[in-house]
Structure 1
Amino acid sequence: MAWVDWWGAGGVPVSLMLGLVAWMPARWALGMVEMWLRARLDARAEREERATMLAVAGALQEGGAAARFAEGQPSWIFYKNTVSSRPALDPGEAA
């Protein structure tokens, strides 16, 4: 029995079987593109959030702190110190 006869066994046309074989790698490739796009969008959103927090901390005239909360917990804290010789903005990840 040839492979064409085997694929066509049971009343399933060969063209349908070839379509399924071509569909599986296409689905895998679309999944990879979706994962890459999700990672890129998440990274861009995080950069925008950091830039916003730096702008807020930079707007503090007399020093102070600005915090960003995620799910009820501080995720980023920016501190502006006008007395010390350290940099004006000291970004640090909250514990």
Structure 2
Amino acid sequence: MISPATRDLAQFSDLDLAQALLQRMAIAPNDWHRLKANRKARALEQASTALVYLLKDQPEEALARLQQAAGWLDRSISAPPCPTHGR
């Protein structure tokens, strides 16, 4: 049985839903310093960005974002230092 909420989502395109997910997963400017090194948050942001690019038929951009997401999860990348600190 399909829930009413799921049924309501049928009115939106896949791209609309992916963009809504990206909007939810994006790290807000006010949260940037707190979450810039949060591996889960960064991976979620990059993976949802990749989904949007894939749905827009831009596989190269999608792949780059998926690689970034994997890098956050496997710890092969880290957040750069904030450019405004240390001045």
**Fold match (TM-score > 0.5):** no
Higher helix residue share: 2
Q: Relative contact order: is structure 1 or structure 2 higher (C-alpha 8 Å, sep ≥ 6)?
A: 2
What is the TM-score of this pair, normalised by structure 1?
0.27
Larger Rg: 1
Higher strand residue share: 1
